[in-house]
Structure 1
Amino acid sequence: MNRAVIVNAKRTPIGKIGGILQEYQPHELAAPLLKHLAKGLEEKINDIILGNVVGPGGNVARVSALEADLPLSVPGMTIDRQCSAGLEAIRMACYLIQGGAGKCYIAGGVESTTTSPFPSKARFAPDKIGDPDMGLAAENVAEKFCISKETQDQYALLSYTRSWESYKTGLYTDEILPIGEHTHDEVFFKERKMKKLLHRAKPVFKKNGTVTAANSCGIHDGAATVLIMEENEAINCGLKPILRFKDSEVAGIHPNYPGSAPIPAIQELLNRNNLTIADIDLIEINEAFASKIIACSNELSIPFDKLNVCGGALSIGHPYGASGSIMITRLFYEVQRRKNLETNYVLAAIGSGGGIGIAVLFEVVN
């Protein structure tokens, strides 16, 4: 079987809705990343696969490829699996390489919530099942798994602290490709200010609830893509494989509890590969809501010292279709910084509207 490896990864800065990236259409966010990753490999690229959730419709991946001046022979495919879309794009590219369909893909996701033509969320489930807004769904998860506001706030503060430290120490620098004059993510709160925000924030989705604006992600713009190649092809091109695709799993659960969807996906993925959480060095789970992360951490016994170690979406933002590929980009650079990995396995997972969870397992290439 062919082996798929990630050899490069980049993301844009993340901007809040109506913020630093407000002038950029989705294809204008993705194109610089494609151009950067494709440099010197333009004629080898089999396809561009991008996740996109809130528009503008059409085939964003094809438009982005053309905007990036890639060869006309590079087609482009856009997929929508809601918040899982960016991770699904990477997963799909890995399987295409394994199956022999091609040897070189750029995959990831892009989202411009600012320029989206859609005034409200899409339908995630029929009314007979229940189709809650994501904030209410986060409340459902908090109630089901008995997660207090205090616990959610504690985790949110941890995420903000980690992101602030990562920003101050330059850990994000390598993964970011500047867009115009913008070189850094837009919003960072220092620990003291964040403590005040968490303390003052009131429930916004449900009376007497526990989910607040401070322990939830914001609405953001951004993009992230990775270069995936067949391993021998990458080596022949003088490129160093960093992450080798091992396996993945997709799970479906009740749409009222989408935040807990990574739990069965991760469980099945680990069971099939005869692994436990102890065998995984680093884990990224999208931080759409603190309640989601606490539920996943508690149910899977994931220690915080290996979970979202550089911060996550609670602090830097959640540009929907790009978030899964942002997590893979984070893992790509973090494993290169660490020389003390014990097991050489890393994992990324995300839950999305409709009750879908995706988990992807990678082996670190030594």
Structure 2
Amino acid sequence: MPETVPATTLNKVCGSGLKAVSAGAQAIALGEADVVVVGGMESMSNAPYISHTMRGGARMGNVEFKDAMILDGLWDVYGNVHMGICAEECATTQDISRSQQDEYALESTRRAIQAQKDGLFKAEIVPVQIPGKKPEDVVTVSDDEGPRNAKPDKIPGLKPVFKKDGTVTAANASSINDGAAALVLMSEERAKAEGRAILGRITGYAQAARKPVEFTIAPTDAINKLLKKQGISAGDVDLWEINEAFAVVSIANNRLLGLDASKVNVRGGAVALGHPIGASGARVLVTLLQTMQDLDKKRGVASLCIGGGEGIALMVER
């Protein structure tokens, strides 16, 4: 893109990528743009350690460094706890057991690995080349490095991460990842004039909020608001992508919405693929659009929980 194209960065934690899509759609609907490139990215492995002490200068004693990845992305500032504690709260209030979370994680991993073996992610992945010291040392990454073969016999023995007697483990929660995803939005008139292949049409979007500790089930509120705006029911939606920040998130929202599990995250979710915070909103929509095309489905909904008590949802149709 030329330097004359204006750009905006927004931060809505896990919902950033999908919020970027709705913001771009609004710009087109308002006549402020015909074409908008939207998306999200996150390099969690490059998040710095920061010190609030050094700005004024440390005079005596130890200096503390904080992990910006946790402080800025994985910490509930209202309850002053890790987001994983909120997931544990969800498991308790929604009566979701450790075994249910482990079973869900295994199924998500099975779906993701099978989809990868079948080459179903190829159409939505752009190979990235990483230069080495010599030209011949270039490394090309063309497959998602997230999915790994799970060992079912090992998962039940994993220790809880956030509470001594908890249920959330490294296996039934999303991992630490780097990633990016992008989409091109156009007005229908512009797309047809240029002869573009239209993957889908954005028909609606919604946001919702509740108590910060309950962010895990906020997608249900956003989805219900979206369905009401569209005048349809959950049964009218062919495919769903609901981000798996934790297995308990998807289990809870599937249950609250009465969804058919065979229509949700059919190629696996973040428990298997990973959850690079700012990228996930765009990533789930990219996967949804590709899956709808491959399976010849008409209507789909992408949704994510957002730390701080929010949820976001967006509907597309073919």
8 Å CA contact 1:83, 1:352 repeated in 2: yes
1:234-259 alpha-carbon deviations (Å, 9 max, x no partner)? 11011021211111111011111211
Partner Cα separation in structure 1 for residue 263 and residue 72 of structure 2? 34
> Which residue does 2:2 correspond to in 1?
71
8 Å CA contact 1:197, 1:214 repeated in 2: no
TM-score, with length taken from structure 1: 0.76
1:100 alignment partner, one of 31, 44, 48 = 31
- Correspondence 1:156-305 to 2 at 5 A: 156-180=105-129, 181-190=140-149, 193-305=150-262
For 1:148, the aligned partner's letter is S
> Which residue does 1:347 correspond to in 2?
301
TM-score, with length taken from structure 2: 0.88
Partner Cα separation in structure 2 for residue 329 and residue 348 of structure 1? 9
Shift of 1:188: 2.6
- Partner-residue secondary structure (3-state), 1:84: helix
For 1:345, the aligned partner's letter is R
Structure 1 residues 268 and 321: CA distance shift in structure 2, 3 A:
same
> Which residue does 1:84 correspond to in 2?
15
Shift of 1:125: 5.7
Partner Cα separation in structure 1 for residue 145 and residue 281 of structure 2? 19
> Which residue does 1:53 correspond to in 2?
none
For 2:111, the aligned partner's letter is R
> Which residue does 1:134 correspond to in 2?
83
8 Å CA contact 1:251, 1:261 repeated in 2: yes
For 1:353, the aligned partner's letter is G
Q: Structure 2 unaligned runs (5+)? A: 50-66, 130-139
Say what the alpha-carbon RMSD is for the aligned residues: 1.3
1:122-176 alpha-carbon deviations (Å, 9 max, x no partner)? 286654xx23211111101111101001111111011000001001000011110
> Which residue does 1:153 correspond to in 2?
102
Q: Point out the more displaced range, 247-256 or 196-205.
A: 196-205
8 Å CA contact 1:258, 1:351 repeated in 2: yes
1:159-204 alpha-carbon deviations (Å, 9 max, x no partner)? 00000100100001111001111111113333xx431332221211
> Which residue does 1:359 correspond to in 2?
313
8 Å CA contact 1:160, 1:194 repeated in 2: no
8 Å CA contact 2:159, 2:169 repeated in 1: yes
> Which residue does 1:122 correspond to in 2?
72
- Partner-residue secondary structure (3-state), 2:186: strand
Aligned residues: 288
Identity %: 36
For 1:137, the aligned partner's letter is C
- Partner-residue secondary structure (3-state), 1:215: coil
Write out the 4+ residue segments of structure 1 that deviate beyond 3 Å after TM superposition: 123-127
For 1:354, the aligned partner's letter is G
- Correspondence 1:31-46 to 2 at 5 A: none
